[in-house]
Amino acid sequence: MANAVGQSSLVPNPLDGKYFGSPVDYDYKLAGNFCELRETHFHAGIDIKPSGKVKHDAIYSIADGYVSRIKISAGGYGIAVYIDHPEVGYTSVYAHLDALSDHLKYVVEQVQTAQESYEVDFLPSPAVLSVIKGEQIGKMGNTGYSFGQHLHFEIRDTKTEKPINPFHFGLKCDDEVVPILQSLSIHGLDPDFYKIWEKRIYLNQGLGNNISFSDPIDVPTWRAGIALQMYDKTSNTHNKQGIYSLHMYVDDSIAFSYHLDKISFNQSKYINGFHDNKVKKSEGETFSLCYKFPGNDLEFLQKSGNGIIPVYLAQNRKVRIEVEDFYHNKRSIEFYLKRSENMIEQLSKDTSLISIKTGEEMVITKRNLALRFDKNSLFRNIYLSLQADTSTNRETKYKIHDVLEPIKDPIEISIRPENHNVNMNKAIIIRTNERGTSKTNYGGTWKDGALTTKMREFGTYFLDFDTIAPTIRIVNFSPNAGKKPYFRFDVNENLHTKGDYVNDVKIKVFIDGQFVISPYSSKTNILEIPLTDLINGSHYLKIEAIDHSGNVAYFESGFTVRK
């Protein structure tokens, strides 16, 4: 890391553990660490647990700098502050805040009011909001897509915006815990890296820090890959976290390795090619692959071998895997592989299907559907299965390949409407599960007469029309508000939204014709309307909710405040 930073002797060294301070004023514990494996992405920072001594811990700037961005979201990072530290070329990020400091709050409220939106993405110039090291910028919270109070904290390279492991800058915590190896999985692989055989071994934690098996494991295929179910912990916390590094040796030569020091945001979602995606989706278990698919170009794997192990009849292959955390707590496992005399026949490829290879561009069409694969769409070669269901009187449903096959970069999907006697402004692309019991709105924009969006997973897609407005349901409202500090409403879109070409529901609140900044959580669908600044007397409330297709819902009512 020190060489990569390239600091001159005249510039402070942020890696010395002294330049950056802590974002909290207590010895913290972690709920999550850098690059641990989340459901859909690599974690880009560390999650700091609350002290437990106050309702909301104060959050501080870790160094001098200026606020370069404040983003308020109903989901995602919730209330988030970004501070540039130009002296050293890094940006610190503080997310899921409950509230901003008074000065920052005042500035952001001007932006929210001007845009008539609770959600804003404000990029002030360097001279507007300067901060000093240790200055309070907000309070720890649970806003956005967060499921418990904590601070999501990041340090990024300002120029590249790549998140870097905060541990490199001295932001560490106590850790004397050795990583846990739960299960070993040996995969028999075909030439296209498909698993045609698997053997799992559940590991007893009583085996110690150096687990070994003397009897060779028979593998009935020509080549093998290894996967591990594992996690780490830091001291005095129950939270399962990710490991920092892994080294796999085959016959004492390095075959696969990585250190989790940094991750690009455009690669963060490549996690589905880093773990066993089929097992993750079908069983809910996370097995990290110790081998690389041909299209897996994760930056931290660039200097790694591919991890594929040829297996032989006459020679046992010794495999040793060392798993380590940032503090050099280490656990290893050693075993032998041998090719079985009874081989499994490789699955024959259906030559009627369309062969699509990694690194190639291709456009596939069927009826009114077009799929555009680019060079980075796939982790491995596939034989594309594509079926058109015309059994209904509505738009054709397209079953696109295997839902368990991971997609690397989103694939563009375009569908031309078959029924032109409808309002095309309401058109959306829908993805359904295999049973057709749930629908997800992928939205879409019109491009050359076709509705176009991008998909991150295979499945059944079709063109549909959304004519149903969001619902606005009373949770806590009364025409006689009395001394209530707020009203609450449940504002819900009729369809779950996902994808690059779909907008979440947009909400505006007005009291007596004036816009009111009202926090909304897409996690809970709760809209909270503050009443504390209202004077006694009669008032009029209006809520407006607009979905991606322009369907609008309103709630209007008079109410009276008596403090």
pLDDT of residue 422: 65
Report the C-alpha dihedral over residues 298, 300, 306, 307, rounded to 10 degrees: -120
Average pLDDT for the chain: 93
Per the model's pLDDT, the better-predicted residue between 136 and 499 turns out to be 136
DSSP sequence for 52-97: SSSSS-EEE-SSSEEEEEEEE-SSTTSEEEEEEETTTTEEEEEEEE
pLDDT of residue 9: 54
Which one, of 281, 278, 312, lies nearest residue 293 by Cα? 278
pLDDT in tens, 465-498: 999 999 999 999 999 999 999 999 999 998 989 8
Distance spanning both ends of the chain, measured CA to CA: 59
- Say which range, 17-21, 189-193, 499-503, has the weakest mean pLDDT: 499-503
275 close to 185: Cβ distance less than 8 angstroms = no
Percent of the chain at pLDDT exceeding 90? 85
Average pLDDT, integer, range 249-269: 95
CB atoms within 10 A of CB 302: 8
H, E, C per residue of 98-136: EEECHHHHHHHHHHHHHHCCCCEEECCCCCCCEECCCCE
pLDDT in tens, 400-458: 999 999 999 999 999 999 876 667 889 999 999 877 778 999 999 999 999 999 999 99
Question: The tokens of 343 are what?
Answer: 């081989």
pLDDT in tens, 107-129: 999 999 999 999 999 999 999 99
pLDDT at 226 over 80: yes
**What is the CB-side half-sphere exposure of residue 525 using CA atoms within 13 A?**
15
Distance of alpha carbon 381 from alpha carbon 294, whole angstroms:
8
Question: The tokens of 390 are what?
Answer: 């015309």
pLDDT at 2 over 50: no
30 close to 237: Cβ distance less than 8 angstroms = yes
Confidence of residue 3 (pLDDT cuts 50, 70, 90): very low
pLDDT at 348 over 90: no
pLDDT in tens, 144-172: 999 999 999 999 999 999 999 999 999 98
pLDDT of residue 503: 82
Which one, of 379, 438, 424, lies nearest residue 406 by Cα? 379
Phi, psi of 193 (to 5 degrees): 70, 30
Confidence of residue 12 (pLDDT cuts 50, 70, 90): confident
